[in-house]
Amino acid sequence: MNDRENLAVVNVASVARSRRSSLIAAAVGVVVALFFVVLVVSSPEDRETAASPLLGNPAPVVKSTTLDNAQFDLSRRRGSWVMFNFFNSTCVPCRQEHPELVAFHEAQTSVATPTELYSIINDDSDNAVRAFFDANNGDWPKVRDDDGSIAVAFGVAKVPETWIIDPNGFVRMRFIGAVTKDLLTEKVTELQAAFEGM
């Protein structure tokens, strides 16, 4: 072969290779585009309840005092359904959900297995919390968490959060964000039914 023919062969081969490269690039592009479509189309999990490694496990030790200066020890609440609501009187969602909690708490007085509701005070002063409850009702114990140990034990970074603990002291449900009376009633009823069936 002379130089001209060699050049022609090399050129044809390189054209064929560039076609192969184009195919590979197109395949990679399709895969990337598919990832992009999945990211755009998929929506975040729309769940009412949230995950936590504590779910199904014994609740952390909670010992503190209430705003009425009574001792509070979660382990002494065994036998009762317990609900913790992490709360701050300046947090807007907390203020918005408050009427729902009041309604839920009032409804619990007429059910066979009432759930005990406790507010866990998160980064707030006694006086501010007292003033808020005086103005907005809510006749349930408010538990101090001055050093934040209860919030850390439950992994609470933002309020409001609501947790349900069963009569055996196991964590059963976690709600991140504001809750409603209907949602709490529905979930508590489900949990109690499952618990009685165990």
Partner 1 sequence: MGSSQAKPLSARLKSWPMWMFMTIVTVCLLAVGAGRESGPLTQQERIDVITKRLACPTCDGESVFVSQASAAVNIKNEVARQVASGQRNDEQIVAYIEERFGGRVLLVPRATGFDSLVWVLPVSVLVCSVAGLAAAFRRWRREQGLVPSDDDRAMVARLLAEEPEDHDEVPW
- List contacts with partner 1 (CB under 8 A): 3-14, 16, 53-54, 122-123, 147-149, 151-158
Looking at beta carbons only, is 146 or 182 nearer to partner 1? Answer: 146
**Largest Cα–Cα separation, the chain:** 102
Regarding beta strands 71-73 and 63-65, do their DSSP bridges make them parallel or antiparallel, or are they unpaired? antiparallel
Cβ proximity to partner 1: between 16 and 111 the closer is 16
From the CB of 128, what's the least distance to partner 1, in Å? 14
User: Considering the complex, what minimum distance in angstroms separates the CB of residue 123 from partner 1?
Assistant: 4
CA distance 100 to 145: 23
* Residue 26: CB minimum distance to partner 1, A: 17
Shorter beta-carbon distance to partner 1: residue 129 or 184: 129
Neighbouring C-alpha atoms within 13 Å toward the C-beta of 190: 9
CB of residue 55 to partner 1, shortest distance in Å: 12
65 versus 113: smaller Cβ distance to partner 1: 65
The answer to whether 140 touches 105, Cβ cutoff 8 Å, is yes
Alpha helices in the chain (DSSP H): 3-41, 92-108, 126-136, 149-154, 181-196
- Determine the Cα–Cα distance for residues 192 and 182; give it in Å rounded to an integer: 15
Is 88 or 108 the residue whose CB approaches partner 1 more closely? 88
Write phi, then psi, for 32 (nearest 5 degrees): -60, -40
Which has the closest alpha carbon to 172: 17, 9, 24, 59? 59
| CB of 5 or CB of 139, closer to partner 1 | 5
- Taking a C-beta distance cutoff of 8 angstroms, is the pair 173, 55 a contact? yes
